[in-house]
Amino acid sequence: MRIVIVGGGVLGTMHAWHAVRRGHEVVQLEREAEARGASVRNFGLVWVSGRAGGAELATAQRARTLWEQIGAEVPGVGFRANGSLTLIRTEAEWAVAAAAAAAPDAAGRGWRLVEAREVQLLNPALRGDFLGALHCARDGAVESRVALPALRAALAPTGRYTWLPGREVRAVAEGSVRDDTGAVHGADHVVLATGAALGGLVRELAAAVPVRRVWLQMAQTAPLGEPLTTSVADADSFRYYPAYDPAPLAAQPQPPVAAEHKMQLLMVQRLDGGLTIGDTHAYAEPFPFDEVEAPYDHLTEVASALLGRALPRIERRWNGVYAQCLDPAAVAFRSAVAPGVWLVTGPGGRGMTCSPAIAEQTAEELSW
């Protein structure tokens, strides 16, 4: 078949990957010169640990397997099976982690509760004050800023993949796509993987999409100077990921800035040694066009406390917007919006983690 994919982010690129691997011809269009949305403005985490049980966890587990396979085939994506540590500093946080580690699916998630001494064996860069951690051996990471070009470079030699950046799609009809250069691309199937861009063409084709947009701030530091051997989270992540029961934290309020911006600390080391840290969450539009400094101060304070040393200076700050499906039972929104045309969006903060499996599910559903 000939498949046209609209959107150059990780979800669109993973659809291209599965289609080409199944022997089809793919044309992928992207309105920017390079993907610049949530697919590159993230931690690069392949995050199994916090996923809700059921379909979400199964999708994340399958995606983790696929990322490892893709990483072996395309080293440029920078996949590593580094695991994660969610650090615990209070008895209430320990209670949440202990309940998670005792859950029936804990072994399948790679969860186990470890004390401070083992934390430092697993990740010697963590020399701060903590009681222990919830360790997840199944978590991983990729290099989000370079993964997409690496995947496209791996697809190009097949002769069945065409990348067309700087093309904004103006019209979609059964069997064809027209871009803003006037070029018409024939298609047996069209996949719209437009991320958080839900206006324009998407609104014309699907007036009511059960997806909201989420705004967040993140940053990257100078090199740490030593390996951070696992990804790291603070226990505020127990408040936001559906795998956990945060009830024991009810009597432990967040600092005001963290509560205001719905914050958790996530921290992962890039291959150049720098640390990506974040993040905040805002749901009410219009989103701010400026970044607020107080959340960065909070992240710096918490990260420094866990490292037991000053955080390296922040070299880059950015914000981003991602699309989140409102159906709690759905990992993403996938729907036929016209004959032969499917809209796939809304994985939320799970996009980098789950995109290989979401795209595989599309391929299976459409009998590619």
Predicted confidence (pLDDT) per residue in 202-252, tens digit: 999 998 899 999 999 999 999 999 999 999 999 999 999 999 999 999 999
Q: What is the average pLDDT value for the chain, to the nearest integer?
A: 97
pLDDT tens figures, 299-325: 999 999 999 999 999 999 999 999 999
- Residue 328 has a pLDDT of 87
| Residue 167: CATH number of its domain | 3.50.50.60
Whether 252 and 361 share a structural domain: no
Is 128 among the domain residues? yes
Determine the Cα–Cα distance for residues 301 and 165; give it in Å rounded to an integer: 40
Q: Which residues contact 252 (CB under 8 A, 6 or more apart)?
A: 90, 92, 93
Whether 11 maps to a domain, the answer reads: yes
CA dihedral 71, 73, 77, 83 (to 10 degrees): 10
Domain span including residue 151: 2-41+145-208+329-365
Task: Kindly give, in sequence order, each residue whose CB lies less than 8 Å from that of residue 104, ignoring residues fewer than 6 positions away.
Answer: none
Residues 91 and 188 in one domain: no
Domain membership of residue 262 (yes or no) is yes
* CA 52/CA 57 separation, integer angstroms: 6
Res. 173: pLDDT tops 90: no
Q: Note whether residue 120 is domain-resident.
A: yes
State pLDDT tens for residues 97-118: 999 999 999 999 999 999 999 9
Q: Distance between CA atoms of 94 and 212, rounded to whole angstroms?
A: 33
Are 30 and 8 in contact by the 8 Å Cβ rule? The answer is: yes
3-class secondary structure, 150:
helix
**Can you give the CATH number for the domain in which 313 is found?**
3.30.9.10
Asked if 221 and 289 sit in the same domain, the reply is: yes
Please count the structural domains in the chain. Answer: 2
Confidence of residue 174 (pLDDT cuts 50, 70, 90): confident
Predicted TM-score of the model (pTM): 0.97
Asked if residue 268 has pLDDT above 90, the reply is: yes
Q: Do 227 and 339 fall within a single domain?
A: no
- Residue/partner pairs of 32-36 with CB below 8 Å, 24 or more apart: 32/8, 32/165, 32/166, 33/165, 33/166, 34/8, 34/148, 34/149, 34/165, 35/8, 35/9, 35/10, 35/148
User: For 246-332, where are the E strands, in sequence order?
Assistant: 266-269, 275-278, 314-325
